[in-house]
Amino acid sequence: MNEYLVKNKFKHINLDDPFFDTLKADYSGFETWFKKKEDEEAFIKKENNLIQGFLYIKYETGPIKDVQPVINCGKTLKIGTLKINPHGTRLGERFIKKALDYAITGEVEVCYVTIFEKHTALVNLFLKYGFSIQGKKNGDELVLVKNMKKLKNDIIQDYPLISTKDRQKYLLGIYPKYHSIMFPDSILKNESVDILKDVAITNSIHKTYVTRMKVNRAFPGDIFIIYRTATEGMKAEYTSVVTSVCVVEEVRGQDEFTNFNDFFNYATAYSIFEQNDLKYWYDRGGCYAVKMTYNAALSKRLIRKKLIEEIGLERSGYWGFMKLTDEQFTRISEEGGVSEGIIID
């Protein structure tokens, strides 16, 4: 299966693509640096055969001495180059998630990046997700650092780190037609990557799901295990799987909105739902919009049969929205291959 973000060696990436013009202008030695990296790899996103996004990351061992002040740390992840062509699809969030996934997998202490201050939108994006300005490089680049071992007790600033202490855990069922577009890193092996598009709901760290299930039992900071329901025409026992871990940002009922337009504008900011579908459910009443962060994809998908027979979920329970015990959540996380470094208590 191909990847939505393609990982290529530098020597196979077209340095003459217009995408790199601003990087060449900002860094006098960019072309020389790029060619020296010929056997290293970077993530790219293309559209109509032109590059729209580029991400180069690498692991380092601290202290990091080429910035002021020095970053005193052990293992770290450096975001060496991150550039996107902004076009309203939140592609920047997709690349930041990719970098932070590597930071978690690599069990680093800190993640850092250097950016010229003039790139205000990109600087603000890093600040939003918990990076802080901690110095300068060469006197004119900002040094932004994110601690990957400590929580700030803020859902977005802490992303992708999760606190499980005193948090409720739930299973949230989502139909296949919504699931893989909303959770691109959780796509199943037998699904085509062609369903993934360069759109806001696929790229965004944030997801909004609209349902009539009583998700209002959940509160900010609670944790959802995403459960992809059965593939059409196939047995749920073997094709329904848990795929992802999310953290609740907020839950709002439709009666908290002035009218349908307000509900629609909120519900579609980070979701895949179309207006006609939302209007149908809104008119029926009792809708909830749950906004959450997409923190982790399970590397091993646990099927319904295993969840019942080995993890202890009730076969007769309501699998659309089901309370999980702490033990069940821990077992799903461990056996699903969620990186230990993502959970900090």
Domain boundaries along the sequence of the chain = 6-150, 169-342
pTM exceeds 0.75 for this model: yes
Q: What is the DSSP letter of 231?
A: P
For the chain, percent helix, then strand, then coil, each to nearest 5? 35, 30, 35
| Topology at the third CATH level for domain 6-150 | Aminopeptidase (3.40.630)
Query: How many other C-beta atoms are found inside a 10 Å radius of the C-beta of residue 301?
Result: 18
**What tokens were used for 306?**
């295993």
The yes-or-no verdict on residue 191 having pLDDT over 80 is: no
Q: What is the pLDDT of residues 287-345, one digit of tens each?
A: 999 999 999 989 899 999 999 999 999 999 999 999 999 999 999 999 999 988 999 88
Q: What is the pLDDT of residues 314-330, one digit of tens each?
A: 999 999 999 999 999 99
Work out the angle at residue 307's Cα, subtended by the Cα atoms of residues 336 and 273, and round it to the nearest 5 degrees.
75
Question: Using 50, 70 and 90 to split pLDDT, how confident is the model at 87?
Answer: low
Task: Say which CATH superfamily domain 169-342 falls into.
Answer: ph1033 like domains (3.10.590.10)
Q: At what angle do helices 275-284 and 260-267 cross, to 10 degrees?
A: 130
Percent of the chain with pLDDT over 90: 78
